[in-house]
Amino acid sequence: MIQHIRENRRLQGLLLIFPAMFVMVMLLVIPLTLTVITSFGQRDADGNVIYTFTLENYWRLLGFTEQGWDDLYLRILLRSLWLAVQTTVIVILMAYPLAYFIARSPEKRRNFLLFLVLVPLWTNFVIRIYAWVMILRSQGVLNSTLAATADLLNVPFQPLDLYPSQTAVLIGMVYEFLPFMILPIYTSLEKIEPSLYEAAADLYANAFRTFWRVTVPLSMPGIVAGTILTFIPVIGTFVVSDILGGRQVILVGNLVQRQFLDARNPPFGAAASIILLVMTLVLTLYYTRRFGLGEEIAAG
């Protein structure tokens, strides 16, 4: 037997990919198939799934209900998309200068700085988001600091009404996903040969031009990778919006989660998650066709 495996390269390959394939089939292909099947079903009064074939769930999501036109779910989809776009853009704008700073630091200090970026991730994600509740609430850390400052300067102060709100959700998302943008951008910036900057300088490019024509294009793979790492999870997440939105800011992730739990309508939740999946897939495909695959994802 052992001898047989040793001689058969094809068999070796199959054995090596078997664990990964097994996991993919068990945890991805089968559940996804079940989700698709469920999404064509209906619920009974007690919330059990009746397996039939109806497109009703999809029609309802797209706004065509028995009671007429209702764009509730389309608005939820758009809201999620818009929040994901906002988060991604803000995160890029914040992460780029920091990644640039780290990449240009002396080699010895870089590791330490990257370590600092990663330290917050040692704390549980839910706890970090709860911490933002303490910061943003009406008599929280932020408002009391501002109030004390305003008091010192003798200016009138109106507490900021940040928690719970959509702005709080955006802040939480930006905070959560910042490290995942910094790292890929850093990786691609760090790869740029210093001689390229010298060459640009030799050709009389000023600092701005060098940045725009040399640095940015060469760091695009990092930006693309970071964008994919941010955009996709933000669209689907529900924990941040539950905690910081006071269960009032509904994203498509919340919609899906609630249909499976509170609303006892798994078929509708399944249909919503399939729509989310298709939407994410289409956007990602378009984006990667347009800008390349973001090689940093492949950790080259």
Partner 1 sequence: MNQRRFWSALSALLIAALIGAACAAPAQAPATTGEPATGASDCPEPNPRLEVTSRQVNLFVWTEYIPQETIRCFEQVYGVRVNKDEYSSNEEMYAKLSAGGANYDLVQPTDYFVPLLIRQGLLQELDKSRLPILDSLDPNYLNLDFDPGNVYSIPYQAGTDAIIVNTAVVDPIPQSFADLWNPVYAGRLVMIDDSRAIIGATLLALGYDVNTTNPAELEEAKVKLAELARGIKLFDSDSPKTALIAGDVDLGIVWTGEAVIAKREVPSFEYIYPTEGAILWQDNYAIPKDAPNLDAAYAWLNYSMQGDVFWRMLEEFPYTNPNLAALEYAKENHPELYEEYINSNITNTPPEELQRGHRIRDVGDATPLYDRVWTEIKGG
Residues 149-187, buried b or exposed e (16+ Cβ, 10 A)?
eeeeeeeeeeeeebbbbbbbbbbbbbbbbbbbbbbbbbb
Q: How far is the CB of 217 from partner 1 (least distance, A)?
A: 19
How many residues belong to the site for partner 1 (CB under 8 A)?
59
Per CB under 8 A, does 88 bind partner 1?
A: no
Q: Which residues contact 110 (CB under 8 A, 6 or more apart)?
A: 102, 103, 190
Phi and psi of 143, rounded to 5°? Answer: -65, -40
Residue 119 DSSP symbol: G
Residues 259-268, buried b or exposed e (16+ Cβ, 10 A)?
bbeeebbbbb
Name which of 104 and 247 has its Cβ closer to partner 1: 247
For partner 1, which residue of 91, 250, 271, 275 counts as binding (CB under 8 A)?
Answer: 250
Name which of 128 and 205 has its Cβ closer to partner 1: 128
Residues 172-211 as x/- pattern, contact with partner 1 by CB under 8 A = ----xx-xx--xx-xx--xx--------------------
CB-CB contact of 117 with 182 (8 Å): yes
Q: How far is the CB of 164 from partner 1 (least distance, A)?
A: 5
Per CB under 8 A, does 140 bind partner 1?
A: yes
In the chain, which ranges are E strands? 42-43, 49-50, 64-65, 68-69
Per CB under 8 A, does 137 bind partner 1?
A: yes
Q: Which residues bind partner 1 (CB under 8 A)?
A: 43, 45-48, 70, 72-73, 75-76, 107, 110-111, 114, 118, 121, 125-126, 137-140, 161, 163-164, 176-177, 179-180, 183-184, 186-187, 190-191, 229, 233, 236-239, 246-248, 250, 255, 257-265, 296-297, 299-300
